[in-house]
Amino acid sequence: MIRTLGMNRFDQCVLNMGLINLCNQTSYVGQSIRQHYDQTEDNGSDPWRRLYQITLHIPHPEQQYDGITLEAGLTQGYNIELKAATDPGLIPYKIPEGGQFVVVMRQKGVGAGFAIAATGIFIRPLALLSLDVIVDATTPEYQSIVVKHPVIRDYPSSWENKLNQFLDHSIPYEALPNLVGYVDQSLNPDYRPPTWDEVQRAAKGFAGV
């Protein structure tokens, strides 16, 4: 579990669960991006090559909803929204083709609104999120973190170098190792994505993910 001043363990579990859903094309958000893409592009193409804004909401841990539990909603990825990024000039990063802009919003209290907690980039082939977490919004002070997929135990030793090369526009999307293939049910039928409870248990050091 990553230690950061701007995120507690619950927040980081939500990020892990969100990453699990983003990587799995059969998840709610995976199907949503395919449906969104098919409405505007030719079928059969890779929808992840188009630039999207992904908004990942971190609810208050005691928030309750009508008709669904918080745990079930997080497991299904209902806290993730996406839309096409129609004006890349408004994004605070120069994102290479295949990267996706991510905004993390944290709920300020039970029944309250959300405030921005982090921004960053989702790199699907590497199955990771590269985020700048807001530590102090008044300064502003940020802490850069990388959230790796909790199911992938051993990332290749070159993953960090590949990430930096991709973000620097030194290598294209196609040159990235396809780690996401292990954690995408559409590519790996034997893969079973963990539930929210399993992600939490793993974060606490128990068997699970």
Give CA–CA dist 46/34, Å, rounded: 9
Asked if pLDDT for residue 77 goes beyond 90, the answer is: yes
- Smallest CA-to-CA distance from 84 within 49, 44, 118 is with 49
pLDDT (mean) for 4-17: 86
As a whole number, the mean pLDDT across the chain is 89
What pLDDT sits at residue 166? 97
pLDDT-derived band of residue 89, with 50, 70 and 90 as boundaries?
Answer: confident
pLDDT-derived band of residue 207, with 50, 70 and 90 as boundaries?
Answer: very low
Residue 111 region by backbone torsions, left for phi larger than 0, else alpha for psi between -120 and 50, else beta? left
- Smallest CA-to-CA distance from 47 within 60, 29, 59, 70 is with 29
pLDDT-derived band of residue 56, with 50, 70 and 90 as boundaries?
Answer: very high
Where is pLDDT greater, at 43 or 201?
Answer: 201
Q: Give 166's Cβ-side CA count (13 Å radius).
A: 26
Among the residue ranges 82-96, 159-173, 190-204, the one predicted with the least confidence is 82-96
DSSP per residue over 128-164, as a string?
A: EEEEEEEEETTTTEEEEEEEE-TT-----TTHHHHHH
Where are the chain's structural domains? 9-203
Give CA–CA dist 102/82, Å, rounded: 9
- Smallest CA-to-CA distance from 53 within 131, 127, 118, 120 is with 120
Backbone φ and ψ for 208, nearest 5 degrees, come out as: 170, -105
